[in-house]
Amino acid sequence: MTNDVAGAWQDAPELAAACVMQRTAGENFPVAPRVLPSRWREPLLAIYGFARLVDEIGDSATGDRLALLDALEDDLGRAFTRDARHPLLRRLAPWLRTHDLPGEPFARLIEANRRDQRLTAVSTWEELLAYCALSANPVGELVLRVFGCAGPEEIRLSDAVCSALQVIEHCQDVFEDHARGRVYLPAEDLARHGCATSELAGPAAGPALRRVVACELERARALLERGASLVGRLRGWARFGVAGYVAGGLAASDALLRTGCDVGSREARPRRPDLLRHAVPLWVHGALT
């Protein structure tokens, strides 16, 4: 990391740790509920902080974003030797060793945001899922590793949940993504439903865009239903936390469906009662009911 790039952590206010962590309140699911014991809550918040920092660099940082992502990857390497420079990497560092977290999932999150600097459109559903494998699935794997239950089948089910959460978020953020020059709704689905890319500029969703969003939500809910059996394989706080993630995705899709898939509606955000309505049965029974 050069001195100039290292100084960018201080020069870009949006990359300050406090600003990055403020985004916690805007998530569809509880990132790390306060009731979690600190031995679980602190590493989950540290992982979230890293993921959000990567996204802030990829989405809104001023200057050369690719250089900043390179600098972040370098700082990630430093975190494994307890020599990181950014506060969020220093916060993450002790948990890397405590929970034996590998570098590869973190590197995939950085690579997703490198791709975002070139991405303008996604052609197919399969291409979108391949992107989710970089941008979302690594977080689920890291969460499982924190809880000590990252077996192959658990990771496979977690991937389904995380991809679903990412797709739902893309549905919520259609207008915001379009303003950044990105379209995550598959081009083949836009064409099939007669939705021109100009309709993705907002401020309200027309009939064609609503049909596309409904299509993606149906696929996302199918992924959530497939991945929900992960909850039943977990115990204790791991089960509690992952149930909240799945419930958050279901509540977010409920909110969009309630508005008729109008992604421009203020009501298209999850409500706490909806989250609890899904979370409690998941936590108690370990499956969707």
Helix (H) or strand (E) holding 280: helix 272-285
> Do residues 91 and 131 both lie within one domain?
no
In a domain, 255, yes or no: yes
Residue partners of 142: CB distance under 8 A and separation at least 6:
47, 101, 105, 106
pTM of the shown model:
0.91
Q: Are residues 202 and 259 in the same domain?
A: yes
278 and 197 assigned to the same domain: yes
Q: Are residues 92 and 160 located together in one domain of the fold?
A: no
Report in angstroms the alpha-carbon separations of 51 from 58, 111, 140, 218: 11, 12, 11, 26
What 277-282 contacts at long range (C-beta under 8 Å, 24+ apart), as own/partner pairs, is: 277/247, 277/251, 278/246, 278/247, 278/250, 278/251, 279/243, 279/244, 279/246, 279/247, 282/228, 282/231, 282/243, 282/246, 282/247
Kindly state whether residues 191 and 267 are assigned to the same domain: yes
pLDDT tens digits for range 103-138: 999 999 999 999 999 989 999 999 999 999 999 999
Q: Per the domain annotation, does 106 fall within a domain?
A: yes
- The share of the chain scoring above pLDDT 90, in percent, equals 77
What burial letters (b/e) apply to 12-50, b meaning 16+ CB within 10 Å?
beebbbeebbebeeebbbbbbeeebeeebbbbbbbbbbb
Same domain, 107 and 125: no
Contact 256, 267 (CB under 8 A): no
Amino acid at the residue 226: R
Per-residue pLDDT reduced to its tens digit, 59-94: 988 889 999 999 999 999 999 999 999 999 999 999
Give me the CATH number covering residue 262. 1.10.600.10
Domain boundary among 84, 118, 152: 118
76/129 same-domain check: no
Q: Is residue 212 part of a domain?
A: yes
Same domain, 279 and 144: yes
The sign one gets for the Cα dihedral 26, 29, 35, 36 is negative
Provide the number of structural domains found in the chain.
2
SS3 helix, strand, coil % of the chain, rounded to 5?
Answer: 70, 0, 25
pLDDT per residue as tens digits for the range 246-288: 999 999 999 999 999 999 888 878 888 888 999 999 999 888 8
Is residue 7 domain-resident?
no
Q: How far is CA 111 from the centre of its chain?
A: 14
In this structure, are 17 and 124 located in the same domain?
Answer: no
Instruction: Say yes or no: 107 and 124 in one domain.
Output: no
Phi and psi based region of residue 63 (left: phi greater than 0; alpha: psi -120 to 50; beta: remaining): left
When pLDDT is averaged across residues 230-250 and rounded to a whole number, the result is 94
Residues 48 and 66 in one domain: yes
Q: Which domain holds residue 203?
A: 120-289
